[in-house]
Structure 1
Amino acid sequence: MPPTDPTHSITERLSRSLSGPEGTLALARMQVLGRPVERSTELTAPTPSGTEVGVWRLADGRLRRDTGRRDEWRYWADRPEIPLRPGHRRVAVLGESATRGYFFDPAYSLAGLVDTALDGTGVDVLDLARTNCSLAELLRTAAEALALGASALVVHAGNNWNNVDPTPTERHELALLLEKGGFPAAAASFRDLVTEVAASALGVLRELAGDVPVVLVVPEFNLGDWTDEPILDCPALPAGRMRRWLRARDEAERALRDGDLAGARTLVAEMTGLDGGSSPVSHRLAARCAASPDEALSALRAAKDAVVSPFAIHSPRTLASVQEVMRRKADEAGFHLVDQAVLFREGEAGAPGRRYFLDYCHLTFDGLRATALAVAETLGAALELPERPGTDGVPVRAAPDRLALAHFLAAVHNAHYGQPEDVLRHHLSRALDADASVADRFEDYLDYQTRIAPNWMCSSYERSTQDPAFRRYMVVGDGRLNGKLADHGLREVMLDVLESRGVPARRRYEDLLVAEHRGTTDLLADANLATTFNERHGAGVGPRVAYLRASSPRTRSTLVVEEPAPLVLRVTWRLPSEVPAGSVSVAVNGHEVGTAEAGTAWTTWEFTVSPDILRRGRNTVEIHWPEGGDGTDTLVAGAPARLECGENVPSHPVHGHVHDWSAIRLVPVTV
């Protein structure tokens, strides 16, 4: 037999071996071995062009916005040109959306208030903060500002520094920790990585700045008010721990209601032992039963940090460990420090809340002003200005119309992060207190968010976008910020507040709601089911699927009816593969309308709803999933391999899957 070339058959057999899950994992590991070890901490100083900074290009002694980067303009200061006056020293203010004065922008920003305080000192303040600014972009902008002759840098950043994309080597290391200690261990290691990256970035900043003074502003967080949404309550826990954790949570809350602090502490300690410190709920409960204000403050900081991981999506924030690195590096590098934790101490525990924050990290006018005055004072010393920066010119409060709109936008943003009703009511009431004419924006919102048509097609939305601050937040091209969500709770609070001020909006809104949403209803549509950004179709971590992964024991949607009449709820569902078969129930307005056995195969059920439990307008429809098993063991077991293969791995349990969920009105048959 003549010799044959075996290459083809070997390649074919190797391809078959590598095509399965184990082969994919082996290939991922070979790729890691085949390249040099890479670390996220290996940052290098960017090289500026010397002719541009941010979205501006240098021409004829002025910085003019680059028309080729028009899509980015809305993230930066609304300045077509930035003059570079001869003989004036330049201070560059760098940062993120909090620095931009989110919700106030473009009327007020940190740089603008610092500029007012430094008026007459021969110093020009360049507003180079960018909404959604990454760590890499911050360093690049710093290099560009220094290349243009900045005499000092002000850096107010850190909330976006958690967005570290682990290298293949780091993914392998996180996968090993997942195997040994589950999501809590891997998340803790990731937070260490974020801290190391921050330290490296501050080292690069020191290298870039040289002898140029740097004022480092350490961001604080809304520890007093902010509550992470329920989807982030606790990551998946194996071996029955989740069920015990849930029971301990209920018992701890009951003990706190009864005033049994000692009993609550014991139960909270059990919860923390079960979740490894990875749940914000455990830490918030610990703060409520803390033995001292300092202990409560530490627990609130731990709650803020607990959700930071590569396995979940959460609001921006600065880790406590990163704050400490900023303080330490400032001392080592000779940076001048402005620490918002010191500026914003509030209440018995010192936990800052709504006086200084509009949401998780964006500042009220009080917060912006306090930070700006501290920065200006620090710059005066750093630049050895002959005159102390003045405070008289810095407004004590925002213009009424700007303050009103900021609180209105804050209410919308808070609602879309699942904040409680009292927070929404606070901001909406403050808005009307500041300027009663903001009620027009309330009514516009009630109109365009209720209609089925896209917002940009609604005249009410067009009216609101005439305001530049509104345009900056509710951007036409950003579906995340202006898409339709099931913000019925927000709209109800708006109506309550308007009616309490003598604005008769409820009847008009309810008639519009019925007119737009009556008839057959898709209960899985974002406008009916998604109350937060995290609950939208396609949101979250993990591979995209064509069905809803229920992240709560109860899946809730909204059904709008014109007049109560018999209807059918049709639902196609299944349980995750690791959950034993169990009974699933459906309820309307708190009344159970049926139960059915569900398993891991897709099944479709129909439930008839009697008109006597319905009401005109908005009705609540719920699916109650069985407790069954944890539904977490498979998630934990499969996560390490998926992480090594470069997938985004979700860490929070799923209670059920829903492919279709609709309401159909029964049409009477006439004979």
Structure 2
Amino acid sequence: MSRPSELHKELAIDLAALLPVTPENQQTFLDLMEKLGYTNPQTSEEETVAENPFKSHIGIYKPDIKDGKKYYQRDILFKETWSFFADIQTIPPKSDKKRVVLLGESVTRGFLLDPEYTPAIVLDQLLNSNKELYGYEIIDLAETNLGMAGIRQRYTECMALEPDMVVFLAGNNWREELLSTIGNSQKKQTALQELTLGEDGIAIAKPLIEDYFSTIVDDFLAYVGTVSKKNGVPVLFAIPEFNLLDCRSTPGERVVSELPYEKLKSWIEAKESAEESLASGDTETCSIQAQQMIEIDPSHPYGFELLADCCIKNEQYKEARHYLEMARDTALFCRTNSKPRTFKVIQQTILSKAASYGIEVIDLPAVFKAHLDGKVPGKELFLDYCHFSVTGIQVAMDAVYKKVLQEFDDLRKTHKDVKTIIPSNEVLALGHFFAAIHNAHWGQSYDILLYHCSESLSKWKDIAKTMVYYCDMISRGAANNVCKSLEKILEDNTKLDRYVHALVPARNMKNMELELVDAMTTVLKSNGIDITNYLLKIRLDDHSIKNRRINLLQNYYHATSYDEYQGQKTAFLQARDSKSDFFVIADAKTKALLSVSFRIPGIISENHDTATLYVNDTEVTKLSVGSKWQTHSIEIPVGFLQNGLNVFRIKWPIVATSRALQDKDSSTAILDAAFRVFGEIGSMTVSGV
């Protein structure tokens, strides 16, 4: 027996140090496995599966031979990612049933309802009820967070399962492939940078970005078609839809573009006028102002959304859909780490190119449109931005079911009513509860949060305890993972392993989640549980400015969602809106002392500009601001503050600035040049006496 070399020993030690395998270190782990000889780098990804079927993983599943038959078992080395997959321990050997492999990302996973209710479960029940010719076996390989590269790999791997058909429901996580392609090409970066330096801003780059994206999607389809033809396995591709009606742009997605002074000023004036007009019911004026916003900056989502709201009020649903699709697609400009979505260019490329590669297509946007009689898809079909509600899963899988029957010439005469395939009320309650949290984390409106909280409590009264614990936890200054209330939430709910990450924000990213707490408090109160004073006491105990100094630049005191600007990170707070809000807890008898140090970078001409400080919408004072750092100390008298939550607002002046000081060679140069900085705050503290 040969002894391992010193090199192999070192590699084995490095490999052991990586355990358990996580999404972050998985590639390093596989690279070390390759060096140790467990994979064959000389063969293609498809050949590896075909020639070494008993050594190749399929996602988290490893091959296992029992009684001469090939099974796939969950690999303990990948336990950290088990919750990203179906709750299935073993994939059995191929039988005489028609084997359909389902591939996709979190939408296909049934996120927020998984594992009790998923697209695979619904499709399985449809296909295996009233069967007259043969049975069907659904292999659910959908994986949360899977991108284009991952789904391509999974598609290659799944051929070892000898499928009779592969169904894709994917396309929401493909923007990362676009960003990677641009990031790895200096030529593409230079082309985009040259376009964005003009007066038209980043919007002019959209055709070029879409051209890059279309090529990426086309290449993916070509690969799928090649593997399909080689293995004789038909492919069905279901194109996802987006929650156009009830998922709007987040604060991060509304970062204002860098525009010439006059255009910037006109855009902000049009925005404020449109908002006032819509609030008063004047859709005609709102439409005019929203159109002006779009003409000035078609890269920004808000003008399209305001115009769509006017169309909806006037029952012009076709026009509303168009504007909401335009708003959705502004995420191509990467203001923030936007919510997953399938862009129009993805849909159009699949519809125009798939047939040439032998791929059958279901256009779910068209299916949903027919289901809604032409109305815009919203919360009836979605739990958040793209994840299906029960009805959404039912409608989508019913369409897939019919296509599968056609593929296998299954002419059965009777069909199960998809509406009869429903989850338990507890599953529905937890789904809506986490939908409320997920929507809050992505900056959605109070009305949507209230809807999901109401639905949750109406389905299962026991969820009330979880809501109380959640409000308790989020109202405290401590990190969630050291709060007793988190422990209580997990004790009372044993099915949360897939969603526990939503309860524990990244380090120093926690915020007050004010609208979500308000929504839960309102719903609880309507059911006889009033926690208003209880939460007020927690907030005062943990955050009151009386006899203490609060750093308002901590995320907790100014953030309203968890999306992040994707450009250069700085040591100070950059205001990318004309107004910056901060949340201060105090009692009504407190006098506040505010200290703030700020500037506006790159001012072309100093003109004694001032920023305005408001407390609870009441003007307190004007503060001089220029291109150099200035520090102000402001005393806010008794009478301005109210008991509990107070909003401090800085309204920045609109001034002409230059981008000459920006780093044009940084990895984020394109983004930093594309979006406006209204002001920078180096420090901001408040105390009370």
TM-score for the superposition, normalised by structure 1: 0.85
Counterpart amino acid of residue 603 in structure 1 = Q
State the alpha-carbon separation in 1 of the partners of residues 279 and 569 from structure 2.
41
1:411 matched to 2:416: no
Find the residue that maps to 2:218 and give its secondary structure: helix
Q: Indicate the residue corresponding to 1:548 in structure 2.
A: 573
Aligned-residue offset at 1:481: 10
* Residue 231 to residue 457, structure 1, CA distance change in 2 (3 Å): closer
Q: Indicate the residue corresponding to 2:86 in structure 1.
A: 77
1:620 matched to 2:647: yes
Aligned-residue offset at 1:483: 5.1
Structure 2 contact 432–453 (Cα < 8 Å) conserved:
yes
Q: Indicate the residue corresponding to 1:53 in structure 2.
A: 58
Q: Indicate the residue corresponding to 1:528 in structure 2.
A: 557
Q: Indicate the residue corresponding to 1:22 in structure 2.
A: none
Alignment of 1:241-640 (within 5 A): 241-253=263-275, 265-275=287-297, 277-290=298-311, 292-345=316-369, 350-385=375-410, 387=412, 390-392=415-417, 395-466=420-491, 467=493, 469-475=495-501, 479-480=505-506, 484-518=510-544, 519-534=548-563, 539-561=564-586, 564-578=589-603, 580=606, 582-629=609-656, 631=657, 633-634=658-659
State the alpha-carbon separation in 1 of the partners of residues 150 and 48 from structure 2.
12
Aligned-residue offset at 1:366: 0.6
> Which residue among 107, 129, 132 is the counterpart of 1:98?
107
Q: Indicate the residue corresponding to 2:28 in structure 1.
A: none
Counterpart amino acid of residue 351 in structure 1 = V
Q: Indicate the residue corresponding to 1:14 in structure 2.
A: none
Q: Which has the higher contact order (CA 8 A, sep 6+)?
A: 1
Q: Indicate the residue corresponding to 2:14 in structure 1.
A: none
Counterpart amino acid of residue 62 in structure 2 = R
State the alpha-carbon separation in 2 of the partners of residues 646 and 389 from structure 1.
60
Please list the CA deviations of residues 524-572 of structure 1 after superposition, one character each: whole Å capped at 9, or x if unmatched.
Answer: 22222111113xxxx3112221111112222111111256322311212
State the alpha-carbon separation in 2 of the partners of residues 613 and 246 from structure 1.
28
Structure 1 contact 175–643 (Cα < 8 Å) conserved:
no
Identity of aligned residues (%): 26
Aligned-residue offset at 1:205: 0.9
* Residue 152 to residue 649, structure 1, CA distance change in 2 (3 Å): farther
State the alpha-carbon separation in 1 of the partners of residues 550 and 321 from structure 2.
46
* Residue 393 to residue 549, structure 1, CA distance change in 2 (3 Å): closer
Counterpart amino acid of residue 329 in structure 1 = K
Aligned-residue offset at 1:207: 1.0
> Which residue among 114, 125, 129 is the counterpart of 2:142?
129
Counterpart amino acid of residue 240 in structure 1 = E
Aligned-residue offset at 1:329: 2.7
How many matched pairs? 614
* Residue 237 to residue 388, structure 1, CA distance change in 2 (3 Å): farther
Structure 1 contact 455–482 (Cα < 8 Å) conserved:
no
State the alpha-carbon separation in 2 of the partners of residues 541 and 552 from structure 1.
15
Q: Indicate the residue corresponding to 1:147 in structure 2.
A: 160
Structure 2 contact 611–623 (Cα < 8 Å) conserved:
yes
Bigger drift between 606-615 and 133-142 goes to 606-615
Find the residue that maps to 1:557 and give its secondary structure: strand
Q: Indicate the residue corresponding to 2:126 in structure 1.
A: 117
Structure 1 contact 91–151 (Cα < 8 Å) conserved:
yes
Find the residue that maps to 2:674 and give its secondary structure: coil
Counterpart amino acid of residue 612 in structure 2 = S
Aligned-residue offset at 1:628: 2.6
Aligned-residue offset at 1:197: 1.0
Q: Indicate the residue corresponding to 1:661 in structure 2.
A: 684
Structure 2 contact 659–673 (Cα < 8 Å) conserved:
no
State the alpha-carbon separation in 1 of the partners of residues 409 and 630 from structure 2.
74
* Residue 249 to residue 45, structure 1, CA distance change in 2 (3 Å): farther
Find the residue that maps to 1:206 and give its secondary structure: helix
State the alpha-carbon separation in 2 of the partners of residues 194 and 227 from structure 1.
23
Find the residue that maps to 2:566 and give its secondary structure: coil
Alignment of 1:28-67 (within 5 A): 48-49=48-49, 50=53, 51-60=56-65, 61-67=70-76
* Residue 299 to residue 496, structure 1, CA distance change in 2 (3 Å): same
Aligned-residue offset at 1:343: 2.4
State the alpha-carbon separation in 2 of the partners of residues 361 and 439 from structure 1.
26
Counterpart amino acid of residue 303 in structure 2 = S
Q: Indicate the residue corresponding to 1:35 in structure 2.
A: none
Counterpart amino acid of residue 572 in structure 2 = Y
Structure 2 contact 603–626 (Cα < 8 Å) conserved:
no
What's the RMSD between the two structures over aligned residues? 2.8
TM-score for the superposition, normalised by structure 2: 0.83
Q: Indicate the residue corresponding to 1:235 in structure 2.
A: 257
State the alpha-carbon separation in 2 of the partners of residues 562 and 262 from structure 1.
43
> Which residue among 169, 178, 187 is the counterpart of 1:169?
187
Structure 2 contact 201–257 (Cα < 8 Å) conserved:
no
Aligned-residue offset at 1:140: 0.6
Find the residue that maps to 1:612 and give its secondary structure: coil
Aligned-residue offset at 1:184: 0.8
Find the residue that maps to 1:142 and give its secondary structure: helix
* Residue 644 to residue 313, structure 1, CA distance change in 2 (3 Å): closer
State the alpha-carbon separation in 2 of the partners of residues 645 and 255 from structure 1.
37
Bigger drift between 298-307 and 592-601 goes to 592-601
Q: Indicate the residue corresponding to 1:40 in structure 2.
A: none
Please list the CA deviations of residues 407-434 of structure 1 after superposition, one character each: whole Å capped at 9, or x if unmatched.
Answer: 1111111112221111111111111111
Structure 1 contact 231–652 (Cα < 8 Å) conserved:
no
* Residue 591 to residue 432, structure 1, CA distance change in 2 (3 Å): same
Structure 2 contact 662–673 (Cα < 8 Å) conserved:
no
State the alpha-carbon separation in 2 of the partners of residues 482 and 586 from structure 1.
26
Aligned-residue offset at 1:604: 2.1
* Residue 480 to residue 194, structure 1, CA distance change in 2 (3 Å): farther
Q: Indicate the residue corresponding to 1:5 in structure 2.
A: none
Find the residue that maps to 2:353 and give its secondary structure: helix
Structure 1 contact 232–307 (Cα < 8 Å) conserved:
yes
> Which residue among 652, 661, 666 is the counterpart of 2:675?
652
Ranges in structure 2 where 5+ consecutive residues have no aligned partner? 1-43
Counterpart amino acid of residue 522 in structure 1 = N
Bigger drift between 352-361 and 336-345 goes to 336-345
Aligned-residue offset at 1:353: 0.7
Structure 1 contact 571–606 (Cα < 8 Å) conserved:
yes
